[in-house]
Amino acid sequence: MSAATEVRVPDIGDFTDVPVIEILVSPGDTVTVDDPLVTLESDKATMEIPAPTAGVITQLRVAIGDRVSEGSVLLLLEADANGAPAGTSSPAATSAPPATPSAAAGADHHADVVVLGAGPGGYTAAFRAADLGLKTMLVERYPRLGGVCLNVGCIPSKTLLHAARVISEAEEMGEHGISFAKPTVDLDALRAWKESVVAKLTGGLAGLAKRRSVEVLTGIGRFTGPNLLIVGEETVSFEHCIIAAGSQAATLPGLPDDPRIVDSSGALLLSEIPSRLLVIGCGIIGLEMATVYHALGSRITLVEVMDSLIPGCDPDLVKPLHKRVAARYEEIMLGTRVMGVTADDGGLSVEFDAGRSGVFDGILVAVGRRPNGGLIGADAAGVGVDERGFIPVDAQMRTNVPHIHAIGDIVGGPMLAHKASHEGKVAAEVIAGVPGAAFDPRAIPSVAYTDPEVAWMGLTETEAGVRGIDVEKAVFPWAASGRALSLGRDEGMTKLLFEPGTRRLLGAGMVGVNAGELIAETVGAIELGADAEDLALTIHPHPTLSETVGFAAELAEGTITDLMPPRRR
Ligand code: FAD
């Protein structure tokens, strides 16, 4: 291969400002001479611009909808060493450097789009922007891409949760005639496995960034103006910016500085397994880490200031989880506040309200996450940040400054990786001018990967109650599911909520093993506007837990045969 050359619009007669209506190649594609690259459409003709030489596309410089004229750069192509130049065909392949507009002359770097933060929101936004032909730079303070999700969130926690599940499944088989010895846990090996999973994914991201020609700049970024960031010692100017700087673990005031008190990142390090672990905060993250540490041998006490596990989730979905952990953990203290902690050699003494106390060997603080909006110099760019650190955005993920977008945890809503990545795509597409790009989901699924898992999407029963929305509810108990019984885990349930009259699906909730996988079907259904009949007539494979969605819909339809149909009113 030789250096990349620019492929420009050749002589196209008298036409100027012609829109790009189709892009027929992507970065990484190999083309041979005369392969069509992009299609332009004037009011008189449609023209395909051919490859002037064989080679590999390295970067797109236009997006659908852009207007181009003779000489406009369409893309970069690394010519095959043996590729014959097109020669006569046109001035399409030239090596003249592009006249890149620089919003702040003299900056060390300039990009069409700078993405601040390389979590699931940021890297997705950067990759999509590059795929749409925009010169993109990704700024990340850590050398490893992937943000919280890949490094200290979703992926390491799920890796450890898998280990926890294997341990508890092996134990449960004791009741059914197969007993294993108590597992020996090699913490170093378990940690190394978790690290290897993370390294595979983060390394993969670095490779994907390179293949897309997304330039990665490592360092802490701060705005110094509406088109300028400073990253370490270097300045970066941009036409557009996408803020994807995420969130960090919230903490409780007044806790002693003691290595035995950790947040979720500290807990994922698996430095040691405390014999008595207090988990402060019973949201998803606290309960998932409790599941891991319990399987690895800790005696768990849960404390939560609200009056239920996973506050906000429908109580009927939480109930089977509560019952299972209550039988296994030392204590669940709901409606209870931690008043103070003192640390000494004998342990961590904790005072709760109502005069109670306890001594623990380790404490996990899992009391929520704080957005990083206040830490990036947003005011220098004129970007509004609310008092909690969130950056308000519109449906195009635009902040109050039109050329600066924000996505992911930092904009609020459910702090979930899949929300961040979808928002990232929207921001990139809006910047590239993709018509109709907007973040407008009908549902964002939430999953607690506890044992059993709890998952929900769309309207919840709790929310319907609060907002006075009338719903039709159908609940299929997993005690009637052959698959759940064959797994020895029949405590689950699948609940569907329908709109009375139209019978369209409004929401779904599940509790049981693998509920996190099962919820996806209902998200698809709600996006497609499915009703109870659609779901009931969908043939699910037997025997699977997925059947429980179909059975719940059959209950709503009154066509179920695996249970007695509900009495017609
Ligand atoms: P982040 O992932 O927070 O990434 C932001 C990035 O920006 C970071 O890499 C940070 O270093 C960088 N950054 C910040 N400021 C700067 C700066 N000034 N300069 C340069 N770089 C900067 N979500 C799920 O959907 N499913 C799960 O199973 C799940 N499990 C989780 C488990 C745990 C233990 C935790 C803590 C979170 C979990 N989450 C899960 C939440 C999920 O990780 C976040 O919602 C997601 O990572 C948010 O993505 P983001 O791109 O908005 O930000």
pLDDT attached to residue 523: 98
Q: How far apart are CA 238 and CA 560, in angstroms?
A: 59
Mean pLDDT of 419-447: 98
Tens of pLDDT, residue by residue over 348-370, are: 999 999 899 999 999 999 999 99
Among protein residues, the one with the nearest Cα to ligand 1's atom 43 is 149
Q: How far apart are CA 275 and CA 373, in angstroms?
A: 37
Among protein residues, the one with the nearest Cα to ligand 1's atom 30 is 154
pLDDT attached to residue 2: 53
Among protein residues, the one with the nearest Cα to ligand 1's atom 14 is 245
Q: How far apart are CA 492 and CA 481, in angstroms?
A: 9
Q: How confident is the model at residue 568 (pLDDT cuts 50, 70, 90)?
A: low
Tens of pLDDT, residue by residue over 309-324, are: 999 999 999 999 999 9
The continuous run of DSSP H or E covering 411 comes out as none
Question: Does residue 433 or residue 13 have the better pLDDT?
Answer: 433
Residue 65 one-letter amino acid: G
Mean pLDDT of 502-509: 98
CA proximity to 413, closest of 93, 24, 121 = 121
pLDDT attached to residue 517: 98
CA proximity to 189, closest of 159, 152, 165 = 159
Mean pLDDT of 108-135: 98
pLDDT attached to residue 203: 96
The residues lining ligand 1, judged by C-beta closer than 6 Å to any ligand atom, are 116-122, 139-142, 147-149, 153-154, 157, 220-221, 244-247, 264, 285, 372, 376, 408-410, 415-418, 420
Cut 0.85: pTM above it: no
Task: Looking at the CA of residue 149, tell me the nearest atom of ligand 1.
Answer: 43
Q: How far apart are CA 317 and CA 180, in angstroms?
A: 31
Phi, psi of 215 (to 5 degrees): -80, 130
Task: Looking at the CA of residue 222, tell me the nearest atom of ligand 1.
Answer: 18
Residue 200 pLDDT > 50, yes or no? yes
The continuous run of DSSP H or E covering 535 comes out as helix 532-537
pLDDT attached to residue 83: 41
pLDDT attached to residue 103: 52
Q: How far apart are CA 64 and CA 114, in angstroms?
A: 20
Q: Which is catalytic among the residues 162, 294, 540, 542? A: 542
Distance from Cα 264 to the centre of ligand 1, integer Å: 12
Ligand 1 binding pocket mutation candidate from 140, 149, 390 (most atoms within 8 A of CB) = 149
Task: Looking at the CA of residue 417, tell me the nearest atom of ligand 1.
Answer: 25
Residue 43 pLDDT > 60, yes or no? no
162 is known as an active-site residue: no
Residue 96 pLDDT > 60, yes or no? no
Ligand 1 binding pocket mutation candidate from 140, 142, 154 (most atoms within 8 A of CB) = 154
Calculate what percentage of the chain has a pLDDT beyond 90.
80
Residue 460 pLDDT > 70, yes or no? yes
Question: Does residue 7 or residue 503 have the better pLDDT?
Answer: 503
pLDDT attached to residue 105: 66
Strand 446-448 vs strand 505-512: parallel, antiparallel, or unpaired?
unpaired
Task: Looking at the CA of residue 142, tell me the nearest atom of ligand 1.
Answer: 11
Question: Does residue 116 or residue 99 have the better pLDDT?
Answer: 116
Distance from Cα 236 to the centre of ligand 1, integer Å: 23
Show the tokens assigned to 159: 């890796």
pLDDT attached to residue 286: 98
Q: How far apart are CA 288 and CA 341, in angstroms?
A: 23
Q: Give the start-end residues of each E strand in 42-147.
A: 46-50, 55-60, 67-68, 73-79, 93-94, 109-116, 136-140
Residue whose entry in the numeric block shows the structure tokens 């809006």: 430
Residue 385 one-letter amino acid: V
Residue 135 pLDDT > 80, yes or no? yes
Distance from Cα 367 to the centre of ligand 1, integer Å: 16
Residue 91 pLDDT > 50, yes or no? no
Cβ within 8 Å of residue 325, ≥6 positions away: 287, 290, 300, 302, 309, 332, 450
Q: How far apart are CA 312 and CA 333, in angstroms?
A: 17
Distance from Cα 67 to the centre of ligand 1, integer Å: 37
Mean pLDDT of 238-245: 98
Distance from Cα 424 to the centre of ligand 1, integer Å: 13
Geometric angle at alpha carbon 339, from 334 and 341, rounded to 5°? 110
pLDDT attached to residue 85: 34
Among protein residues, the one with the nearest Cα to ligand 1's atom 35 is 153
